[in-house]
Structure 1
Amino acid sequence: MATTASPAQGYSYPRPSGLSGGLLGLSTSGGTTLAGPKAHPHFFSGLLTEAAPAAAALLGLADVARTRYFQPRPTGFRDPVVTCNGDRLRLESFSACGGVYARLDVLQQALDGEVHERGTTNVDVNGPLREALARVGGADPLHLAVGAEELVVTTGDGAVVEKKVPLPDRWLRGFAEVQVITAGFDPRAELSAPEAVRFLRGLPGRSRGPLWAVPAGQMMRLGARPVPGAVCLAGPERLRTMLPLLRFAKALRAYGPPVEARSGPMSSVWELELPGMRYVLALSPENNRGFSGEGAVLDALAGDDVAADADLLGALLAFEPRVEPDLLAERAGLDAARTRAALTWLGTSGRVGFDAAEAAFFHRELPYDPARVAALNPRLRSARELTDAVRFTAPDAAVVLSNGQERQVRFVDGKEYCTCPWWMDYRGERGPCKHVLAARMVRDAEKETAR
């Protein structure tokens, strides 16, 4: 079977990033600021007061970006996305397989300098920089420059650096899915530094199925079955990038959805608190499942008004570290449901993320073509094409003609069912199928017409 090559994302840097003489210079590519698009935005210059943990965490972030946890094979570098929200720097990456999301939040207490602009860009992380970061130790602070050409370390002849990196569609879709999935999580456990070391170092290298981390007093123990209060840990080896950070750890926190005795595999968030920083990993429900196929965004994207609402809310964003939905709803004149749906839509183009530690959305602008990202939901496109083939036989039942076959859709007590193979395989755990989506669109449109 022929495969389609992933489009290449182009990066252009004025020079390579580098680390020399106590100066960590991160070279920026094209991005977006409050003032609009810029080729090489200048976000921050000053001291990084916790140099050693920051260097180790940045290495961990880069390791995630180059790793394929499912069916491992060599991959190239994918440069982290960096957002300056004024009081913090957020660095984000995704694993090559799309199943692990990583973020490093460098908070205000670890920064001592001047914020020049707010916005989002990519930063160059190259091989020599990785080697230099691995040698950082001790308690001395580093001078950090994010995007200032006069401060970026000069290496070689200082020539412009051009990179083209294949970015799979699932990598981009994953950003949207993670923010929707984790927005429904609650804190489940917190371990002290000694217990965090014991727990993480005691994890098995691999497991055949998902494990369940169960809080037990001040500790967490692993089990093979879900129980109320547990956190799913699928692929414990995917937490391995936390191990070099344990010498700096202050606490480990786990976040997840409610779990029942019959629960299937679930996503989870693991947050390692460092001095003035947070290193966060979000794991997909299974090693062989990337976030891109979870379908969590589809419910919100199916509405008729969501695109227009998203345009309205997008104009109100200003790279805030915390986006308050209630305040946005009031300013935009929208109700809570439409506001949340619009935030989901903004997430599909990389404009909104979610921070489980603060239970808050944050504004960023992924430096990718929004038109391309918005077109990455084939199930939604297929559902829209099926709306003319929907026939309701009762208020809670419909027949959808698809590929010459009739699919039966039912709405029962807030849940949806379908007779298609997709629903039979996943039982709604990976979002609605295209037939359910199509029937819902028709039902909602008829309700709107009847008003």
Structure 2
Amino acid sequence: MATAQAYAYTRPSGLAGDQLGLSTSGGTTDSGPKAHPHFFSGLLTQAAPAAAALLGLADVAQARYHQPRPTSMRDPVVTCNGDRLRMESFSACCGVYARLDVLEGALDGEVLERGTTNVDVNGPLREALARVGGSDPLHLAVGADELAVTTLDGAVVEKKVPLPDRWLRGFAEVQVIASGFDLRAELGRAEAVRFLRALPQNPRVEQWAVPAGRTLRLTSRPAPGAVCLAGPHRLATALPLLRFARALRVYGPAVTSGSPPVASAWELELPGMRYVLTLSPEVRRGFSGEGAVLEALATDEAAYDADLVGALLAFEPRVEPDLLAERASLPAGRVRAALTQLGTSGRVGYDAAEAAHFHRELPYDPARVAAMNPRLRSARALADDGAVRFTDPDLAVVTSDGRPRQVRFEGDRVSCTCPWWADHRGGRGPCKHVLAAKLVRQADKEMSHR
């Protein structure tokens, strides 16, 4: 399923000489909504790596790693957090999330406003970026009134891009998943180049990278400390950046010898910037189906707290939960749950390098994200239809399609007797029966407190 997302630009983005202009379309700023926000004007001091990384970001947005076929170009999301520019995109199949963080050391100019928008990336701009080399800086304007390249008649340029709903859900899912990552390995430049260049490019290969001295060793089985690498060909956009690389850092969740495939993040440190590729657990699985956000979407308390916490965000590059807890007069645990809820509508992302959320605003509302989750819709229908019956405070029977399923609560763990749970063990989010039982349990708790 896809909807048409319309972007209106005053003129195309372009590169002429040493002038790079990125045209903006509709966004939210710290002073309110703007049709064409103007975020930055100044020097991009590391031109060649920035141009190559931006090209890589655009290549991810155009790629379909599972069942490759031609796809239309999608425009990256750009957030100005004051001390940095963050540029984000998803692959068309939603299995790869890419982000370029242009940090303070690579920017020399004036931040005019903070906020989030889409920027135009077109064919001629891609061709021009591929020719950027040398050490001279570029003059960068993000949303300037006067860009280097203009249309002949000055008319507004409109692009309509098919935007799959699963691509939108990916923004919600990936920040929840990445918040469970820890740094697993760090390779110096030489080791990083050798490792990445030696990777097999077979899309059917599913391997694990295990730290071995100063490098990584590939194996076919998981082990403690390993990082899942499903479809090594999905790291291909990092290869042209290796000539600029200073280090490679790899992030993932804790695994054991019996772990199923999991997501991972691969971060190239470049001069003054970071290029990050986050891979879904399998090539055929996109982030949109992982179900990591379902529990956050299903709780009313987190939704209430999210409204309060969201009003306190101001496009910070690092969101500090303890500071927010003090300002919102909420316990830190509830603030973290609220940040997860805000992430379900794309209002916060997660930076594994800094182990912190960051504020951005996407043009999607929480209700739309919730409506795009069929498991949550089914769970709410079960709860509303009276299909959930608690036989014990920690045991519920959920009747679905005439079949009773037992949902058991054991501390922080919940299990179900349905086939979905038997197949995934919660690895792809809770099943509809668990969600329905949690909804009813939460409603009963709120009733007893009134």
Whether TM exceeds 0.5 here: the answer is yes
From 165, 168, 180, the counterpart of 2:161: 165
Q: d(CA) in 1 for partners of 2:344 and 2:364?
A: 11
**C-alpha distance after superposition, 1:85-108 (max 9, x if no partner):** 000000000000000000000000
> Match for residue 440 of structure 2?
442
From 398, 416, 419, the counterpart of 1:418: 416
Q: d(CA) in 1 for partners of 2:338 and 2:59?
A: 33
Alignment of 1:254-333 (within 5 A): 254-333=250-329
Q: d(CA) in 2 for partners of 1:205 and 1:121?
A: 34
Gaps of 5+ in 1: none
Structure 2 residue matching 1:11: 3-state secondary structure: strand
Q: What amino acid is aligned across from residue 255 of structure 2 in structure 1?
A: V
1:43 equivalent to 2:49? Answer no
> Match for residue 431 of structure 2?
433
**C-alpha distance after superposition, 1:58-83 (max 9, x if no partner):** 00000000000000110000000000
Alignment of 1:148-163 (within 5 A): 148-163=144-159
CA contact (8 A) 1:26 1:152 kept: no
Structure 2 residue matching 1:72: 3-state secondary structure: coil
1:67 equivalent to 2:63? Answer yes
Which segment is superposed worse, 330-339 or 215-224?
330-339
Structure 2 residue matching 1:272: 3-state secondary structure: strand
1:342 equivalent to 2:338? Answer yes
Q: What amino acid is aligned across from residue 433 of structure 1 in structure 2?
A: C
> Match for residue 87 of structure 1?
83
From 176, 179, 197, the counterpart of 1:183: 179
CA contact (8 A) 2:29 2:113 kept: yes
> Match for residue 389 of structure 1?
387
Structure 2 residue matching 1:30: 3-state secondary structure: strand
Q: d(CA) in 1 for partners of 2:151 and 2:236?
A: 31
Give the C-alpha shift of residue 261 in structure 1. Answer: 0.5
Q: d(CA) in 2 for partners of 1:259 and 1:277?
A: 29
From 122, 127, 132, the counterpart of 2:123: 127
Structure 1 residue matching 2:190: 3-state secondary structure: helix
Q: d(CA) in 1 for partners of 2:210 and 2:378?
A: 40
Q: d(CA) in 2 for partners of 1:116 and 1:22?
A: 21
Give the C-alpha shift of residue 406 in structure 1. Answer: 1.4
Structure 2 residue matching 1:167: 3-state secondary structure: strand
Alignment of 1:182-221 (within 5 A): 182-206=178-202, 208-221=204-217
Give the C-alpha shift of residue 120 in structure 1. Answer: 0.4
CA contact (8 A) 2:10 2:23 kept: yes
Q: d(CA) in 2 for partners of 1:21 and 1:165?
A: 29
Q: d(CA) in 2 for partners of 1:304 and 1:390?
A: 18
**C-alpha distance after superposition, 1:314-337 (max 9, x if no partner):** 110100000111111221122223
Number of equivalent positions: 447
CA contact (8 A) 1:24 1:142 kept: yes
Gaps of 5+ in 2: none
CA contact (8 A) 1:16 1:158 kept: no
Q: d(CA) in 2 for partners of 1:141 and 1:155?
A: 25
**C-alpha distance after superposition, 1:128-159 (max 9, x if no partner):** 00000000000000000000122342255443
Q: d(CA) in 1 for partners of 2:321 and 2:297?
A: 17
Q: d(CA) in 2 for partners of 1:93 and 1:343?
A: 21
1:244 equivalent to 2:240? Answer yes
Q: What amino acid is aligned across from residue 414 of structure 2 in structure 1?
A: E
CA contact (8 A) 1:91 1:105 kept: yes
CA contact (8 A) 1:27 1:152 kept: no
> Match for residue 99 of structure 1?
95
Q: d(CA) in 1 for partners of 2:150 and 2:407?
A: 62
Structure 2 residue matching 1:29: 3-state secondary structure: strand
Which segment is superposed worse, 389-398 or 130-139?
389-398
Report the RMSD for the aligned CA atoms in angstroms: 1.4
1:20 equivalent to 2:16? Answer yes
Q: d(CA) in 1 for partners of 2:110 and 2:92?
A: 34
Give the C-alpha shift of residue 386 in structure 1. Answer: 1.5
